[in-house]
Amino acid sequence: MEVLAERLSQLDSQAGGAIRVVMFYDTLMRRRVDLPALARASAGLAECVAGIRLHGTGRTIRMSPDGRQVSAPPPPASTTVPITLDGEEIGTVWLERPGTPGSLDELLLDRLAIAATAVVDKYGPARTTMADPALVELVISSDSDEAAKARALRLLGFAADLPVRVVAVRSQVPLDQVGGLVCPARPVKAAPLADVGVILATTLDPARFPTGVRAGIGAADSPDRSWREARTALRFATPRQPVVHYDDLGALALLAEIPQDASRDNTDVAAVARLAGNPEDLETLDAYCATGSLRQAADRLHLHHSSVARRLEQLGKTLGIELTEPTGLIRVRLALTAWRLLDD
């Protein structure tokens, strides 16, 4: 390949050179090369830095004529050509030639773009976790038509016949690391969207979410419905239960539909809100609501059950709820959950 590139770079005849450029890329495509190899060969042929970028993955490949990857900030491209697939622009190829563009640069980039399209169409985008937020938003938006969603999913690397799970994430851990952990062996894409991170995956392991992450997992087959469910589930996530499946919420999901003003005006919710300034009281109430048992709450709090009993007695008086009665336990569970959903 290097010998052929050297011969082509010495051609004087523009017509002959054009034919040989076409033959050069035909040979590369028959060899089934990947995108880095395409960029490397193109840089050698053009005798300047050649670049390839896919919008869907955000990955940029820049190769110098000596075959090495370039890490220095790129200068303005001398010539650019879009990569298109099914009428959609999915990326760009370019040359970084100092001075005036060469006479065959445009043809070279046209053939490089065609070759890059063939690689993406056959093998899909190069594996990466972070994706273009615009494509992710297109997939999960309720305003997008099905054809647009299908194109966006294909550009993100997902097969058309596989359902995609949607996860809403708030995390102190970088989003790409979270995606790689919960879905280490299958396609996974992630992108920040407004105040929350989005993860798209065909399958995931909820047990692999790292410490410091809160996540809501949608259940619907449709990505836009799954996104709404994931956002709702995320609102229910707590330090005690950082990962919430929408399916596991059941009727509790209805609490997310209650107007916040109505929740604030509720007597039980207002009483819980007044406890929020005392972390010890709130922790005791949370442990009791989570277990439904005085002794289990004591174990969770690492206290003697008599100490917890005294706390619950005092909390019941403060809240105006008999906590040891089944009805009282239901009331305080609902009130605590509704309070956590306020302003979330």
Cβ-contact 274, 250 below 8 angstroms: no
Residue 128 included in any domain: no
Q: What is the arithmetic mean of pLDDT over 34-53?
A: 93
- 46 closest CA partner among 95, 114, 84: 95
Q: What angle do CA 109, 112, 118 make, to 5 degrees?
A: 145
Residue 77 included in any domain: yes
CA distance 214 to 235: 9
pLDDT digits (tens, 9 = 90+) for 44-87: 999 999 999 887 566 789 999 999 999 888 888 888 999 987 66
pLDDT digits (tens, 9 = 90+) for 167-193: 999 998 889 889 888 987 677 899 999
Domain that residue 75 falls in? 2-123
Q: Where are the beta strands (DSSP E) in the chain?
A: 49-54, 60-63, 79-85, 88-96, 165-171, 188-193, 196-201, 213-217, 243-245
pLDDT score for 102: 85
Residue 227 included in any domain: yes
Q: Same structural domain for residues 18 and 115?
A: yes
CATH at 69: 3.30.450
Residue 273 included in any domain: yes
Q: What angle do CA 289, 291, 296 make, to 5 degrees?
A: 125
Residue 301 included in any domain: yes
Q: Same structural domain for residues 138 and 251?
A: yes
pLDDT tops 80 at residue 7: no
Q: Same structural domain for residues 252 and 262?
A: no
State the average pLDDT for the chain. 87
Q: Which helix (H) or strand (E) holds 247?
A: helix 246-249
Cβ-contact 11, 102 below 8 angstroms: no
String of DSSP letters for 5-69: HHHHHT---HHHHHHHHHHHHHHHHHTT--HHHHHHHHHHHHTSEEEEEETTT--EEEE-TTSPB
- 141 closest CA partner among 123, 125, 153: 153
pLDDT digits (tens, 9 = 90+) for 245-290: 999 999 999 999 999 999 999 999 999 999 988 999 999 999 999 9
Q: Same structural domain for residues 155 and 168?
A: yes
User: Given pLDDT bands bounded at 50, 70 and 90, which one contains residue 215?
Assistant: very high
CA distance 257 to 331: 18
pLDDT tops 60 at residue 9: no
pLDDT digits (tens, 9 = 90+) for 302-342: 999 899 899 999 999 999 999 989 999 999 999 999 999 99
Q: What CA–CA distances, in Å, run from 338 to 195, 257, 259, 278?
A: 21, 10, 10, 18
pLDDT digits (tens, 9 = 90+) for 103-114: 889 999 999 999
String of DSSP letters for 130-160: B--HHHHHHHH-TTS-HHHHHHHHHHTT--T
